[in-house]
Structure 1
């Protein structure tokens, strides 16, 4: 970074003032995009889904916990997995602080994965997470919402993911799905986020994007895999 431009105050001020125009334009664009997102059509959900929870078997409606809006984060955690997804864990590290505010804004947030509940609870305890984590083990939920795929789908070379047909190697992907429940109890899927769209839920990236070196994901994978670890695997500094 020693070869970076070092400017006198007047030049520094004008450069940052000019850049602020772009920052403000992006903020307005994000607000407009959010408004357009809220105006998108909804999908009626009539199929019954059941989940294993620490309070017993629950329906999709039960996961709303009396609120009208529900966010489900799909964690990449298949049954008997011998790994723990670093990216999903990175995102989930940001949930608990936001969750206390979401609950007071008519929004319930639940994490869901295909692994049996006992496997999920072991990892949740290790990570000291407080959010609700439920298991869709044995149900079609993950498959219907295109974050899990059958062996036949993968073998065919084409699976539907993020609104397009793609080649998929693994059986699970992360993502976020949003639901609304009206006064009559009818549930709708209002939005879903897959791929890099989920980065908006990772607050650490917002901080890093303010810094001189940014995300610094320069290899070998050029993703968060270059540096992110499960939070109990970092060397203390």
Structure 2
């Protein structure tokens, strides 16, 4: 398994690394997903999301709970998105190994305003604003789904990640498309699309169905993955070369 971005430090030992990605409109509308969080093939938690239409756009919510040696992590996040799934407002609360973390973000003119509170300390960052930015906490399946939706709409171009580590930063997202693979969903054989998102030099492998539905993500954190309940990926015998 390829390594994903590590869980970062945000004033408390382990914290929330956030990613922002752009995704297509129709695919994410009215979606619900439930996932197992695993490390090296062993279940260590759960993640879920719901994306529903609302007046003028979409409402997205995510929850995560991970419990393992060295990491107790819980997350609750709500987002408001416009009709093109562009982020309008996000509120996140989490507990990482007993430390409370909260984040509020929204576009502010040409910037993205990020307010972070952790261990009793607060900070505000004004980051470069991008319409097609995805806000992605660690293990957040909903953010990755938004990424897939926006990536389809944008043909993989002009996507950005908002990362609230330390003072916060914005990173470009580079997408590579690999050859399709195979898998089963609820026992039925399906074709699986394989994408890789590189952010700040670290890679996340994304596996999706024909409707851009997130099925599996292999994360930068060593050995960690999100796997949709009922989905089984047929692994390739060797790593395929990205398509040009």
Range into which the TM-score falls when normalised by the shorter chain = under 0.3
TM-score by length of 1: 0.27
User: Scaled by the length of structure 2, what TM-score is found?
Assistant: 0.27
Q: Which one has a bigger Cα radius of gyration?
A: 1
Counting helix residues as a fraction of each chain, which structure ranks higher? 1
